[in-house]
Amino acid sequence: MLNHLSTALTLFTRRLPASSPRTFSGALRRLCRMEAAVVRCLPGEPKLTISFCLQGSHKHMLRDQDEPLGKVLARISNGIAKNQSKAKKSKKNRGQEQPDEAAEPTVVKLFYDGEEVPETVLNAEAWQDGSVLQVGDVKYSVQRNAPTFTTAELPVSLLAGFPVCPKLEVEFGNVQDCEFTWFRENYQDSGWTQVGCERVYIPSNQDISFRLKLSCTPKDGSRSGPAKELVSVGAVEAGPGVCLFDNRHAFTAKVTDWPTVRVVSYNILADIYAQTDLSKTVLYPYCAPYALQLDYRQNLIKKELAGYNSDIICLQEVDKGVYVDSLTPALDAFGLNGVFKVKEKQHEGLATFYRRSKFRLLSSHDIMLSEALSSDPMHAELLEKVSANGALKNKILQRSTSLQVTFLEDLNKPGRKVCVANTHLYWHPKGGNVRLVQMGVALKHLSHVISEVAPGAPLVFCGDFNSTPSAGVFQLLSEAVVPPQHADWSSSGPGESCSMELLSDIPPLLSACGLPAYTNYVRGFQGCLDYIFIQPDCMQVEQVIPLPSLEEVTTYEALPSVAHPSDHIALVCDLRWNP
């Protein structure tokens, strides 16, 4: 049977008359005009699915792959007969009695290459791509394993001037190949007006107060699957006007040319922290409540990140749901892939994105710092020193602070690799000693994995280090040593003091964005806590994107605000990676 089916197209053309070119073209056109019957059938799975529309009703059948075709066809025919019987009973109940006539069963057959497929053939072999299902007078073109959307959603909140990025997942296809058409609601004739044809749509002021509709067709190259239509839940609303990051985008209008790499580090403020009573009444009481809502802030974050045209993005305080449902589909639409490391015991974590046209993901080597300290023999010496103070040791081991380590390969120069590290250290103002130990573990781990995975690869170390330039962590990174008399060793008081000389296995690093007056600006604190560290012998700073002025930052007193989604400011710089 399989051999017979494989010769389908050849046999079909042979049976056409001598003047067949025109006839053959007509046959193809008729096939294209048919409605589709979509079949999903994968080796190793016991079931297959058959989906098609019949008399305005969507049919979705789940059948055994090793079941004879005849049983499926009979099921379709019987289903039609039952519907006809119900319709007759309904007419009788309304007094519209019909003569009792036995309805003839609907003919249901499957054809391949113009020949009827025997009913004894098993489903897995019978439902071939390009075959034709006949149900009465209706014919369907069978699409086996056609590109299909398994997820297709529009964001809830839509703002004029801010990108709308649908969440899409395709089976048997590629999102980059899909076709998109955007429409705006038209109240005058209850219809829709076409407004765009790209994957991402940026609503204009003309779209305010109207809903949007997206018609999208899944594709794999030239092969198409069943289209989907998505209508927004709500209408487009007015945006906030000028945002804090708008002026910065003037410096990042284009993607950098090789060998320059644009890097972003940004604490985007996790929703689980923004929505607490502490945040609303103590930390950010000056921020309008609606501007702390996740949907609103996500619009700003996506526009800000898209406008930087970055090659590498390291984010902190990323809610797991935000990574999956918002950031991944948005940044994927702008050419970036991502990896995520969730904090243990938390619902937020670290995310690293990279431009897929420039980099290939090699491997990830993420760790929870406290777990590595207590269980990895390479940290035994540090653990022994910390254990001299039981209270400090317990505090460190209770922390879920993580280190995300990602190795990328340069696609423009295969074999050339870079190590991208991302972290968010312990937050407490008096936790300098905890952060020192955490950084000691991080640097030891980085030195080890670089030597194991990609010897000589440069390190780009991003994050919210919760450390000002006078802190021990900054000294350890920039000088590769912290002396035992540093004040941070006793930052939490004599009861948790632990003095030691801490050495870094990685040579001194350079803060690529210098030492800004502030990267975190709230009512109770303004200071530099975020950094992008590089190895100056491997990379040079070409451009640092200027941070917003004090006047801009304090337009709404402090951060976050209606014009900025986080209490932190993104660091953005262009690095020249020595060829």
Q: 338 - beta bridge partners?
A: 353
Residue 469 CA neighbour count, 13 Å, CB half: 13
Strands of 329-464 (E only): list them.
Answer: 336-342, 348-355, 359-364, 367-368, 402-410, 417-424, 459-464
Choosing from 311, 366, 410, 464, which is the catalytic residue? 464
Predicted local confidence at residue 344, as pLDDT: 83
Specify whether 464 is catalytic. yes
Residue 188: partners with Cβ closer than 8 Å, 6 or more residues away: none
Q: What is the residue whose two structure tokens read 């990830």? A: 364
Give the separation between CA 314 and CA 422, rounded to whole angstroms.
6
* Cα-Cα-Cα-Cα dihedral sign, residues 24, 28, 31, 33: negative
- Is the whole model's pTM more than 0.95, yes or no? no
Cα distances (Å, whole numbers) of residue 199 to 69, 158, 169, 279? 40, 15, 13, 36
Cα distances (Å, whole numbers) of residue 261 to 141, 377, 410, 534? 48, 35, 11, 12
Residue 388 CA neighbour count, 13 Å, CB half: 11
Predicted local confidence at residue 93, as pLDDT: 61
The helix (run of H) or strand (run of E) holding residue 170 is strand 167-171
Predicted local confidence at residue 273, as pLDDT: 95
The helix (run of H) or strand (run of E) holding residue 526 is strand 525-527
Give the separation between CA 572 and CA 531, rounded to whole angstroms.
10
Q: What is the residue whose two structure tokens read 């053309």? A: 13
Residue ranges and CATH numbers for the domains of the chain are: 33-74+106-145 (3.10.20), 149-231 (2.60.40.2700), 244-577 (3.60.10.10)
Predicted local confidence at residue 216, as pLDDT: 98
pLDDT (tens place) for every residue of the chain, 579 residues total: 444 434 443 433 333 344 344 444 444 444 446 899 999 999 999 999 999 998 888 999 999 999 999 999 999 999 888 877 766 666 666 655 555 555 678 999 999 999 999 999 999 999 999 999 999 999 999 999 999 999 999 999 999 999 999 999 999 999 999 999 999 999 888 899 999 999 999 999 999 999 999 999 999 999 999 999 999 999 999 999 999 999 999 999 999 999 999 999 999 999 999 999 999 999 999 999 999 999 999 999 999 999 999 999 999 999 999 999 999 999 999 999 999 999 988 889 999 999 999 999 999 999 999 999 999 999 999 999 999 999 999 999 999 999 999 999 999 999 999 999 999 999 999 999 999 999 999 999 999 999 999 999 999 999 999 999 999 999 999 999 999 999 999 999 999 999 999 999 999 999 999 999 999 999 999 999 999 999 999 999 999 999 999 999 999 999 999 999 999 999 999 999 987
Residue 87: partners with Cβ closer than 8 Å, 6 or more residues away: none
Residue 225: partners with Cβ closer than 8 Å, 6 or more residues away: 38, 143, 146, 147, 148, 149, 172, 173, 217, 218, 219
Strands 260-267 and 571-577: antiparallel
Q: 230 - beta bridge partners?
A: 214
- Orientation of helix 390-397 relative to helix 432-453, angle to 10°: 60
Give the separation between CA 59 and CA 68, rounded to whole angstroms.
19
Strands 138-144 and 148-153: unpaired
Give the separation between CA 165 and CA 153, rounded to whole angstroms.
9
Q: Please give the DSSP secondary-structure letter assigned to residue 455.
A: T
Give the separation between CA 223 and CA 246, rounded to whole angstroms.
40
Give the separation between CA 122 and CA 118, rounded to whole angstroms.
9
Strands 312-319 and 539-544: unpaired
Q: What is the residue whose two structure tokens read 């040079």? A: 540
H helices of 268-379, where? 271-274, 277-278, 294-308, 320-322, 328-333, 369-375
Task: Return the closest-CA partner of residue 536 out of 423, 460, 443.
Answer: 460
Give the separation between CA 440 and CA 481, rounded to whole angstroms.
10
Residue 561 CA neighbour count, 13 Å, CB half: 22
Q: What angle do CA 164, 166, 172 make, to 5 degrees?
A: 155
H helices of 228-293, where? 271-274, 277-278
Q: 538 - beta bridge partners?
A: none
**Residue 463 · residue 265 · CB < 8 Å:** yes
